[in-house]
Each structure stands twice: as structure tokens, then as C-alpha cells.
Structure 1
């Protein structure tokens, strides 16, 4: 191994999860309301201190399915295990854990994932976790790709194809970077090559505020543009290097970068938006597609844990 790799790995292992809020120090107890957890009611270090990998996705069902898959991959599977929802005290999000892997749902859209990430980042910080890698897994609409292609995001862009996330804070627009960890993206791509089960590419992901008009669909309740307008817009996105469209990557990239988390977005494309707006694939085909991100990320986690064990 290159000595530089050893140095990078050592630096990564000593890297804490950062919060940038001096007001937290004044709190007697930090209540993570939407998780139904808190520093005064739970021993977060004991519960989560060993977490090294966090996977997040929109659906609670999908994230439970992911933790069951990971348990089997890591040979931690108990046929009688129910994998209880750690956040059972709330109906906002679901959270599951097996060994060093945490699986959390985030709902749909930027506001929902942003709320979850605020509390997740604080949870990891309070638990004194280090060397944490976080990966969003999900589905998306592809642009110029065969359905079922997995896209590893190198950069999230807004609907004008610019790599930025804008948020209004105290009446002022704050712009944050949406770059993701390039070395992690390359490692995931290499894992896919070794798997050789499905096509995987690295590219830009467009993050929108809406599923219908915001993504140039023609099948919403409202539509003020023509089919040609839609086609022209999506072709511009394609020319700008956009591979897929979803609704969470920009704030995910921005918040993970601020907190020092090594982050990636891995989404499968369910259709090619240049050819249509609605899903017409069978349930079985869609289920196969939706399993691809978890297969790739599961392989990556297993590979990393094996490499760590070999170094020990």
C-alpha cells in the first residue's frame, strides 16, 4: 500500500463528525425530537459509538430491507431477529442498526432529508463517532441512460445546472457547495466493476424541489410548457452532464461536507426521461432495479470491513 494511503486512512480514522453551532454547548439536554432520542434520555455513545457506515434512503420499508440485507452480507443474520425500529417513538423517520452500520429513512424532498440530517449529524457527534462514511441510496429518473443503470453522483446541480445549494437564513440567501467525495465515488465504481452485475456510471445529479413541473414532466396536475419545451430542457441537462434527477442530493452533499462526513449518492434510474414520464415497467423489474444500490453499497461496506480486519 502507498504510504500516502496509510496517512490518509489514519487521518480519516481520527476525524470526528463536526457540528458548527456554539449554542449547543448551552443545552442541558439535546432533544433529537424527530428521532425520539436525546442526550438526556439515551446513552448515545453506547448505542451508536461504533457506527462507521450510515446509509439513508427515502422509504422506511426500504431502509429496513437494507439492514436485513446487510445483516446477511456481514453474516450477522439471525433468522428470528426483527431488527426493531430505534425511532419507534415517532412516525417521522425509521432507524435500524446492525454492527457498525446504521440505516435511516429520510422521507421525500429537501426539507424532509434536511431535518433528518440535522439530527443525524448531532447524533453522530454526541456519540463521538469517527471515520464515518454516509451514503444515500435511492431511485431516480435517468437522462440518456438505460433503465436500471446505477448513477454514483460526482456533483449535485440545481435545476439551472449549477453546483450549488441555496438556503434562505435570516432573510439572506446562503450558497453552499454540493461537491461529494470523489475518491469514494471511484471506490464505489470499482466495486460495481468487480460485481459485474449491472451498469454503473459516475455523473452529475440534478436535484429539484418538485417531482412534476420541477422535473419537466407533462403528467402533473399543472403544466404550462409544451412537449418540445420539455425535450429542449432535458437535452440541455444531458449536454451539461446530468445523468439523473432526484430531490435530495443537493442538501445532502452540502450538509455532509459541512460536517466532515465522507459522502456519496447512489441512485438507480427507473426510466429514461428522454423517452417518457411514467413508469411502465413491471413490479418485478422495478424491485430488481431498486435492489441494485443496496447490493453495490453492501458490497462496498463488506469490502471495507474486510480490509480493516486485514490491517488489524
Structure 2
């Protein structure tokens, strides 16, 4: 049974891992996190996690945990928010209250490795009812820079909603659907904030930043400006409004684990009008804050609802 459907209506949804070999292992070493089931008490450290936010940059994810600490009223002026994965230079991880913030690097291979270990961590910690959101930046198509795209479906470079991976020499195709209810909740949060425009649309996930995204400014380019514009026009016609490099494997792995997942990316430029960023550092920094603001507002709202539900249940 599809875990995504199995969990619907359940009072407590665990994080699924589909690997029978894990049960035979005396220890599971989460190598790239510098964590393990024998060396760390994962349930004690992470068992209260309800929200996980992931993004490419370690700096951005530290910035997010500092921001969400303030939003949830958990801010401590003396707190340093240490990197839980300080023993490795691959990823960074921060935690405050029920929120975990993790960097994933750039591209499908990097986020895939991180997600394998993150999903196992949540599973070993016996976390339930977890919502996971990727926050990041992207190139827009036909949108004003600064627009937030909440992904409806992640599509590949041929505009098909699928993630393909070669396993044991065979091509395995997996779904890239994301949680529609979560996407609508995020859009409603954006409308209430009324600070920037947000849309729900398809996101194209590519294997490359340059030729794979029809850029003209890479070290190699075998197509014309007209070819590029024709391709982007076809992408737009198919429902694509932004391009990034992680959403397909993120969507497929979260769906397999039964997690409510969303992708929230700000567009830094309209790719139909250019390939390179021209805004000032401050402008780009301000745009990158928008996914944090939106997701922070969502988590704050959800946390208050959880507290109310717990309070009414104790009465």
C-alpha cells in the first residue's frame, strides 16, 4: 500500500523506511550527519520534531532556525544554535523546539544522500506527524522576480511528473506528487501575510544549472537564443513557472516515506529575460528571506493549533 494513502485519516503518522536490511543491523551509522543509533539517543534528541525545513545553503538554514526561534517565542539571546552535524563538513543541522533545519547542498545527488539519512533519523527517533518543506531559490518563467512558487508537481526536463533513477542497472520511475492540502495551506498563509505574491504551479527539476536549464552563459552551449526561448515557452505552456535542481527526488522520497511535503522557492529572475542575476546583494538577500517568512508563519500557525488541540485534550 502507498504510505501516502495509508496515513490519510490516521491519528498518528510515522516516518516509513522501506528497507528490511535495517532491522538486521546492530548499528545504523548516519555517516554524513556524524550521528548513529549506538552513539546518540536519537529519540531523546529528535523525537519531538514536527517540522523539518531543508535548503541548499548551511548559512541559510542557520538563518532560518534563528528566525523561527523568534517566531515561536523560543529565542534565547545567549543561544548559539550549534550545528548538530559539526563533526562533518557535508551538511549542517540545527534544531529549536519542534523544528529541524538541515542543509542539503546543490543538486539531486546531494539532497538524495541527505534525505536517506534524514528519513532514517526521523524513523529511528520515532517521530510522528512530520511536515517537511524545502525552502530555496529558483529561476522563474514568466513571473516577476520575488514571486514565491509553491510546487504543485515537480517535472523533469521533458515536463513529465516523474523521477527516474537507475538501480541495479534498471530504470526505476517514481512519482513526484506533493501534498496538495499543504500547498493550499501555504498559499493561504501567503495571502494572509500579503507581503509578496505566491502561486501554486509546476516546478522543473534539472540535473544541471547551465545547459540543462537552457542557459546561454555556460562554458558550453550548442543552441541559439531562439532555441532557448522556444524551450522556455514550451515549459511555460506545460504549467512550469520555475526551475531548480532538487524538487523531484525530494518529492519522490518524501512520498515513499509518507511525509507531508512541500517545496517553496522564491524566483530570483525571469529566465525569459536573462540568465544572470543583476540585482544588488541586499536585494537578493531580501528575496531569499521570503520563503523563510512564509514557512515561518505557517509553522507558527500550525504550532498554535497543535498547542490548542493539546490543551483542549487535557481539559
TM-score (norm 1): 0.96
Equivalent positions of 1:1-312 (< 5 A) are 11-312=9-310
The number of residues matched between the two structures is 305
Deviations 1:221-264 (A, max 9, x none): 00000000000000000000001000000000000000001000
Gapped runs of 5+ residues in structure 1? Answer: 1-7
Aligned residue number for residue 3 of structure 2:
none
Do the aligned partners of 1:60 and 1:104 also contact (CA within 8 Å) in 2? yes
Q: Measure the CA separation in 1 of the matches of 2:194 and 2:7.
A: 27
Change (3 A) 1:307 1:107: same
Q: Measure the CA separation in 1 of the matches of 2:46 and 2:180.
A: 27
Gapped runs of 5+ residues in structure 2? Answer: 1-5, 311-315
Q: How far did 1:311 drift?
A: 1.9
Q: Measure the CA separation in 1 of the matches of 2:84 and 2:254.
A: 22
| Partner SS state of residue 176, structure 1 | strand
Do the aligned partners of 2:72 and 2:300 also contact (CA within 8 Å) in 1? yes
| Partner SS state of residue 140, structure 1 | strand
Do the aligned partners of 2:7 and 2:258 also contact (CA within 8 Å) in 1? no
Q: How far did 1:12 drift?
A: 5.0
TM-score (norm 2): 0.96
Aligned residue number for residue 5 of structure 1:
none
Deviant stretches of 4+, over 4 Å: none
Deviations 1:135-175 (A, max 9, x none): 00000000000000000001000000000000000000000
Do the aligned partners of 1:71 and 1:77 also contact (CA within 8 Å) in 2? yes
CA RMSD, Structure 1 to Structure 2 (Å): 1.1
